[in-house]
Amino acid sequence: MIGAPAVPRTPLGLVGWRLALLPPLAAVLAGAALALAVAAYGGYDPLGADTWSRWDSLIYQDIAQHGYTSRPCPQWEIDDGARACGTFGWFPLYPAAMAPLVSLGVAPWAAGVLVAIAFWVAALVVIWNGLLLALGGRAALAALGLAAFGPGAFYLHLVYPVSMTVCLLAVALVCLRRERWLGAGIAGGLAAASHPGAMALIPVAGLWLAAIVPAPTLVERARRIALVCGLTAAGFAAVLLYAELSTGQWDGYFGVQARFDHGVHLPFANWLDLSTPRFEGLGNISIFIALQSWFTTLLVAIVVATTWARRATATPFDWLLVLWVLAFWLIPLAQDTVSYYRTDALLLPAAAAFVTLAPRLVWALALAGAAITAGMTLAFMQGVLV
């Protein structure tokens, strides 16, 4: 197993259900209470669809009801560069999880919230048990708070696939630490079928397995890379296959996304634009976008700097966390027209990097994250975010 020794276990191999479940459940309840308090403060209906679902949420609800569909492109989208139009520009795994509830008569937005909350709970349970407790350290509980209120955490209960992707990526990270290569690949493939941002796992795991993790032979090294990276890529390929079977347009995703000019760009320009304070929305709420960007940058810098400072004793898993924060932070920034404040959430499993730091520091970071989460939640409810 790669990393620090696990905490002591009972003869059954368990840490006890109270220790295993109560802290992450308490963190979820704290996050839910914060979201409801923000809704009450802003005068938003806690049972209103518009409170928890906007913009892309409507597309996920449509996929949950009808599957992938295509439509003729209006001229303005063609002028923007679109080569295809339809719901195949968004990934299907999350709405597939919503579909059974919708078929039972649950309102699509409510089904989306329920699925999101279920994966929110699962994500924190996985992070707490598979990473924070397993790694040990004085700041495990504070690091859980950081995972619950870190960058982008306000999306974990909204009608978006973010909590599902975070959960699956956390499972992949746990499997990598435990040297469960097949499990990491399966989790990565499912994550890739839920959100394109999960594809950053391929360069992270590929570089880590190729250059950092010892392997007895080159053949074994290649096998590990093929399992983890190949299965993660297969998840994306499965999305394209689903689009072909549903609409006859396997490349529909690329056609829809063409008008956003993602491409490959220098990340600094996008970071600077994102980090420049703006004063839009009621109460100039959009300033929290810049605050989250700076907060994310600070967390990435802490992970990189503290690991480098103890590089003589750093484990391969420590370096995996460094690669994780750098890739999941920089790869979205290297593309244009991305909701960077949403993809920031994919860094949350790297809260594991904070377990050995001073608890007071990590608690301070978690409280700062909670304040930013409150502001970003209100900005979403106002329609400032997408």
Per-residue HEC secondary structure of 14-42 comes to CCCHHHHHHHHHHHHHHHHHHHHHHHHHH
For tokens 């994102």, the residue is 274
Encode the chain (386 residues) as per-residue pLDDT tens digits. Answer: 775 544 444 433 445 778 889 999 999 999 999 999 999 999 999 988 889 998 899 999 999 999 999 989 888 877 777 788 889 889 999 999 999 999 999 999 999 999 999 999 999 999 999 999 999 889 999 999 999 999 999 999 999 999 999 999 999 999 999 999 999 999 999 999 999 999 999 999 999 999 999 999 999 999 999 999 999 999 999 999 999 999 999 998 888 888 777 667 788 888 999 999 988 888 888 999 999 999 999 999 999 999 999 999 999 999 999 999 999 999 999 988 788 899 999 999 999 999 999 999 999 999 999 999 999 999 999 988 87
List Cβ neighbours of 197 (8 Å cut-off, separation of 6 or more). 165, 328, 331, 332, 343, 346
Q: Would you tell me the crossing angle of helices 287-309 and 359-381 to the nearest 10 degrees? A: 150
Query: How many distinct structural domains can be found in the chain?
Result: 1
Tell me, yes or no, whether 18 lies in a domain. no
Tell me, yes or no, whether 224 lies in a domain. yes
Tell me, yes or no, whether 11 lies in a domain. no
Q: Please say whether the dihedral angle defined by the alpha carbons of residues 255, 258, 263 and 269, taken in this order, is positive or negative.
A: negative
| pLDDT for res 7 | 45
Rounded CA-CA distance 374/285 in Å is 10
Q: Which two tokens stand for residue 194?
A: 């839920």
Residues paired with residue 70 on neighbouring β-strands, in sequence order: 86
Q: Which two tokens stand for residue 121?
A: 């709970």
Tell me, yes or no, whether 14 lies in a domain. no
CB 378 within 8 Å of CB 42: yes
CA angle (268 as vertex; 264, 272 as ends), nearest 5: 125
Can you give the residue range of the structural domain that contains 37? 24-381
| pLDDT for res 12 | 35
Taking the CB of residue 29, how many other CB atoms lie within 10 A of it? 12
Tell me, yes or no, whether 3 lies in a domain. no
In the 8-state DSSP scheme, what is residue 82?
-
| pLDDT for res 135 | 94
Tell me, yes or no, whether 314 lies in a domain. yes
Tell me, yes or no, whether 2 lies in a domain. no
Rounded CA-CA distance 362/25 in Å is 19
Rounded CA-CA distance 226/230 in Å is 5
Rounded CA-CA distance 185/107 in Å is 33
List Cβ neighbours of 295 (8 Å cut-off, separation of 6 or more). 151, 368, 369, 372
Tell me, yes or no, whether 7 lies in a domain. no
Long-range CB pairs of 293-301 (<8 Å, 24+ gap) are 293/340, 293/341, 295/151, 295/368, 295/369, 295/372, 296/151, 296/329, 296/344, 296/347, 297/271, 297/329, 298/365, 299/146, 299/150, 299/151, 299/325, 299/347, 299/365, 300/325, 300/326, 300/329, 300/347
Q: How far is CA 127 from the centre of its chain?
A: 12
| pLDDT for res 82 | 77
